[in-house]
Structure 1
């Protein structure tokens, strides 16, 4: 090796300044190459700056290292566990796990992360210097327990990613809520109240135990910057998608299949309502399917599923809008998905209050969609507007879409889509409706099947006469879930192009 080559390597070999301070070590950077020195990061509330300048708390060398390259700052989670986040201050980049942070951007550090400072500042493995005995007595970070994986989806208030349990190897889904921003000036009592409220709601979710409700495994509140935290909600991972996609793929579902799915949905809703929970966002996207494949024609299917399906478990998911309503049995927050939202939620003429009956209305909309492929309320069916359609309970069973659907199914929907909550079925009445015991070939229910409980006070009589199927206006055409989905995909493709 030439002298010039040796000199070049010596110039680029990173070194660091060992600072003398009275601060305890909170973390260490272990050099990736054998000859590299380790760097201790002190626990300093004002932050620790690393760079080439002699004014930095920690000094490293390298031809492309900035004078002030990055800063390590303290953060604390709800359990009192301290963390560090790193802010990139450089021109040539600070990298975490080979990904550029970006100048003025910040990321939370977890044990095992690889840090690299530009190209010549060296690569290090980051580890928290926490006493093991002390660590066993505190709540761990999400990253202590799970390895983050690929994204599964995103929504208005959270993203969902796959994760793997470091201890068991189980694959789970983790919902990562968008950051909650705070301030040093926020009232401490208010912060404590919000933390207690979150704790109560999360404990409630973790207590759920029902075969038709997605299992909640754990949750973590993690700092992502000095004034922002985010919540990681760990859930059972479902591998077979949403009821929404099943409807899109098939255009609509048959009556027997819909009954089998709806029975399970009602079982989950009954559990929630018995525990004073309103889901508040029942829709096809929030009904997940766990499908057991059929590997042999000799296997006996558990229900009216497709030929390749042995069993389907239906699970209610996405409790982002769920609310513990306790003794009052009502709540007054305007929320939900527009086409599925109950009229009492939209009605602002009086003080807005609603109960578990709001979920029953949404379930009625869902039942309608399953059987015909499009929702009963939409702007495509205007006038009136979709909001007024819902407030007035204005919908119809359009021919030819409903011609082959039994009157008993229409009667059940008519008992769910009732504007006045007091006259609307509850979950128990819905589950006992005679449609669920009616055979596929029976169009008219027998007189013995019809009970007074199954008759809505304002519904169309179903004992002897058929429920009317309405002809669509010549200038009106409902938009099916499949058409809406295809249109959205085309729009996204054109936007990218």
Structure 2
């Protein structure tokens, strides 16, 4: 670092300390402008060693960067426009940021993606990489507030973009997208779930962020071989009014249980049992830590498959021929904390095939038993390939089927499956929460032991008639209802293929 640049940095640090001491005398910080004030708001560090950096001055009006001498900051390059971009200062989350807009002919790149000429532009964060066309150079953004914080405190938390390099999109859902990312310091590949932007809070923002951090500390402490590991989380500004949560997770490389069911149509009974032993182990750990998942479904059960290196290698379980070991991991637990309780519940109720009756009743006092209902639905789906509750099975509607616990085990799909499994499913799909099995009762069930136990078998021989008529007259939840009627419900494989026909080739290839 040159002596001139070092002096400039020292002056900025000293100014920030003086102003910070003055600002802390005000008890109502949240209603004030950002605490730190500097002559320069940020510094763009040149990515080329030995090349000069750029100080971004504090101005009430727009700061223009380009080749022209009339610009506030002049840069050189054969394809740099006379006026290449403009920066304005904006407040977000009680802090100042730079908002950059491309006004060039040859392009402005942020994190190697072309921004596009004209508004709206993007908010710059510490760690962002900006490039001026092809010959104008590349720079890393650092705000003076961050430079000062890192000098003054060992506990300074970097932004997501300082810690990670974002990669390809892995998937998307109702409330988030999932992308691959690489840790800048270790090179480890992780998955990052980026929740859709939320409007930031105002006066109570600090309290909400503290509450979120408290919940995150609990999730970060979770350590179990059948649960996807939380690594960290970040709250990043998106624009002047919105923020997004970045949740960094362990990356799984073998896909979802959902895709396995799609590929195979249904799972073998011994294979399903091996999966569920692991699933219930992870679920037991969550429940012991007072964490309710609330969204157990095949899309949220991830697989970590170790391939078999030779036919002589003894498998660890009843897996497919080329698989040595399959590890089940529960994902997306505790996400209500990140997207809001009401929004989360409403999202679940939009596709309620796996949702417990008490959730559909909007009972806010539901317990860990909601996960056990969803586990029962999942067990049913794994063994026959379609869900126990569906509008195609009506009337009544799927919601009414769930609320009243109306389901059956159809022939021929359940003919070869032992009654002991049906008994377990019936004990999990009990509408009365008091009658429904918890994790310990489920793990202690006869299905997971070597022996078998006798259960009552009730068969509906009225083929062609609605099986619901006979089911609703049965008083005990423990009676297993086998039906000779053919179900009209679409398998999840058929439903998936049907949905795939409704989307574009590009979307289809990204999913597959």
What TM-score, normalized to structure 1? 0.79
Tell me how far 1:319 sits from its aligned partner: 2.5
Distance 2:414 2:79 in 1: 74
Distance 1:386 1:22 in 2: 61
Distance 1:352 1:136 in 2: 41
Tell me how far 1:379 sits from its aligned partner: 1.3
* Corresponding residue number in structure 2 for 1:445: 453
Distance 1:494 1:124 in 2: 35
C-alpha distance 236-33 of structure 1, shift in aligned 2 (>3 A): closer
Distance 2:257 2:38 in 1: 59
Tell me how far 1:479 sits from its aligned partner: 0.6
For the pair 1:359 / 2:371, whether they are aligned, the reply is yes
Distance 2:505 2:79 in 1: 45
* Corresponding residue number in structure 2 for 1:416: 428
Choose the corresponding residue for 2:501, options 482, 490, 496: 490
* Corresponding residue number in structure 1 for 2:393: 381
* Corresponding residue number in structure 1 for 2:183: 165
User: Is this contact kept in 1: 2:107–2:115, CA < 8 A?
Assistant: yes
* Corresponding residue number in structure 1 for 2:288: 274
Q: CA-to-partner distance for each residue in 1:164-216, whole Å, 9 max, x for gaps?
A: 1122221111111111223xxx541x212221221122112111111111000
* Aligned counterparts, 1:200-279, within 5 A: 200-279=214-293
Choose the corresponding residue for 1:106, options 110, 122, 126: 122
Q: Secondary structure at the match of 2:502?
A: helix
Across the aligned residues of Structure 1 and Structure 2, the Cα RMSD in angstroms comes to 3.3
C-alpha distance 320-50 of structure 1, shift in aligned 2 (>3 A): farther
Distance 1:459 1:210 in 2: 34
Choose the corresponding residue for 1:149, options 143, 167, 186: 167
Q: Secondary structure at the match of 2:434?
A: helix
Question: Number of paired residues?
Answer: 441
Tell me how far 1:409 sits from its aligned partner: 0.3
User: Is this contact kept in 2: 1:281–1:321, CA < 8 A?
Assistant: no
Distance 2:293 2:60 in 1: 42
What TM-score, normalized to structure 2? 0.77
Q: Secondary structure at the match of 1:206?
A: helix
| Gapped regions of structure 1 (runs ≥ 5) | 1-20, 325-331, 448-456, 462-466
C-alpha distance 426-162 of structure 1, shift in aligned 2 (>3 A): same
Q: Higher mean Cα deviation, 430-439 or 386-395? A: 430-439
* Corresponding residue number in structure 1 for 2:157: 139
C-alpha distance 282-299 of structure 1, shift in aligned 2 (>3 A): same
Distance 1:22 1:287 in 2: 49
Distance 2:67 2:163 in 1: 35
Q: CA-to-partner distance for each residue in 1:299-337, whole Å, 9 max, x for gaps?
A: 22111111111111111001264569xxxxxxx955524
User: Is this contact kept in 2: 1:71–1:87, CA < 8 A?
Assistant: yes
Distance 1:107 1:88 in 2: 12
User: Is this contact kept in 2: 1:238–1:288, CA < 8 A?
Assistant: yes
